[in-house]
Every structure is written in structure tokens, then in C-alpha cells.
Amino acid sequence: MIKILIVEDERPISNLIDMSLRGAGYACTCAYDGTAAADLLEEERFDLVLLDIMLPGANGYELMEFIRPMGIPVIFLTAKTSVMDKVRGLRMGADDYLAKPFEIIELLARVETVLRRYHKTEALLEAGDVVIDQESRVVRKAGVPVNLTKKEFDLLVLFVQNKGIALFRENIYERVWESEYTGDSRTVDLHVQRLRRKIGWKDKIKPVYKVGYRLEL
């Protein structure tokens, strides 16, 4: 299982990130200051670090210097939004930089992208009796293969990686169709209806009024 270290001193934010990443199938450990994070990095192996900059103990930039020789990918999560702060973080070796406040779906997308770049993504995703092999793009329900189109497959992965999170139609469209949302929800709704029917999740992929959809398992 992919292990992620969350270094964030604001506990409500840390708890939200932790809950969301665990829901997407990641194993998470939280540290609330730079010194504790350094101790954890010496004791355990992590596949990714989500790193705040303004931390007690050692700040994020100092901790980045400590992490860099380990070769662990890092995403900065910070309220420091100036271009110079972003440039500094990237030049120090961070793989991405996400300014607060951010949407959880965007964080999950960036985590997935960085892990894919390092070939650390989990090949198999499981949700109830549904197993998704991301490498072969094969889906099985109770051991029986389910024939999905490319968009239906990508839509299923998006829902499973964001279990329990209300996904806006525009976010769904931009993630799955990889283009800007134009306001026409029919494409998203049609594909969701087809996916629900094929997977047998009519009561699990639920509409969220004036928002979009949420997978409830």
C-alpha cells in the first residue's frame, strides 16, 4: 500500500487530508511539526510527503533539505501563495505546489499524478465486490468481468478514489474528459447512468442536489 506522510500543523486540515486519502486507498501518517516529521522519515519508508511550509520546529523549507537526499517526492501545501515562494519550493526539489485553500479532488489528482510519475501507483483498486486493475484496465464485479468504455472506466476510478466525497459535475468532466467544462451536464449524467447500470451501483453512486454525484459504500 502507498504510504503518505502528511506534515501539517493545523489539525482540522490534517484530519481532512488524512480521511480523504485513506478513503482513496492510501496509508497515511500525520506529523504536526517539522521535527516530528524528520523523526518519522528516519524511522519509516514513505512514498510521498505532503508538506506545509509554516511549521513549528523545522519549517517546510528546512525539512525539504532533509528530505531531498532520500529521493521521496514532495508536494508543498501552503498558504504562502506568492510566485517567489512557489519558485523557491520547486527549485528546492518539490514535485508540486498547491496553495491553500484547495479542493480535495484537486489534491487527490495531484497526488495521483506525482505517484504515477514515480511509478508508485497501486495497480489494483477495490470497492466492495468490485476490483479495478488500472494497468490492464480490467474491471471485475464478484469475479465477473465488466465491459466498460474508456470514459466509463476513468469515471469508475474517479469515484472509487473519491469515495464519500461529493464531486461537482464540472470537476468530473474536467478530470475524465480532460477539457474545460462548458456547462452541459448531459454528457456526465449519461455516462454516470450507464456506469451505475453496468456495475449495479444504482443505489451507491448517488446524485447530490445542484452539485453532482457521490459514491457511498
pLDDT confidence bin for 79, thresholds 50/70/90 = confident
Task: Calculate what percentage of the chain has a pLDDT beyond 90.
Answer: 59
User: What is the predicted pLDDT for the residue at 120?
Assistant: 76
Report the alpha-carbon distance of residue 71 to residue 153 in Å, rounded.
32
* Between 80 and 105, residue with greater pLDDT: 105
Which of 48-52, 69-73, 132-136, 197-201 shows the lowest mean pLDDT across its residues?
132-136
User: What is the predicted pLDDT for the residue at 78?
Assistant: 84
Kind of pairing, strands 96-99 and 124-127?
A: unpaired
pLDDT confidence bin for 32, thresholds 50/70/90 = very high
pLDDT confidence bin for 213, thresholds 50/70/90 = very high
Q: Residue 93 above 90 pLDDT?
A: no
Q: Are 177 and 191 in contact, with CB atoms under 8 Å apart?
A: no
Q: Are 195 and 152 in contact, with CB atoms under 8 Å apart?
A: yes
Residue 181's nearest CA partner among 192, 170, 167, 172 is 170
User: What is the predicted pLDDT for the residue at 43?
Assistant: 93
Provide the whole-model pTM.
0.69
**What would the grid cell of residue 124 be?**
489494483
pLDDT confidence bin for 76, thresholds 50/70/90 = very high
Residue 28 class from Cβ within 10 Å (0-12 exposed, 13-18 middle, 19+ buried)?
buried
CA 8 to chain CA centroid, nearest Å: 16
Kind of pairing, strands 212-215 and 205-208?
A: antiparallel
User: What is the predicted pLDDT for the residue at 86?
Assistant: 79
pLDDT digits (tens, 9 = 90+) for 138-187: 999 999 999 999 999 999 999 998 888 899 999 899 889 888 877 777 99
The chain-wide mean pLDDT, for the chain, equals 90
Which of 71-80, 120-129, 188-197 shows the lowest mean pLDDT across its residues?
120-129
User: What is the predicted pLDDT for the residue at 85?
Assistant: 77
Q: Residue 69 above 80 pLDDT?
A: yes
Report the alpha-carbon distance of residue 144 to residue 178 in Å, rounded.
30
Kind of pairing, strands 3-7 and 27-31?
A: parallel
What domains, with CATH codes, occur in the chain? 3-117 (3.40.50.2300), 124-215 (1.10.10.10)
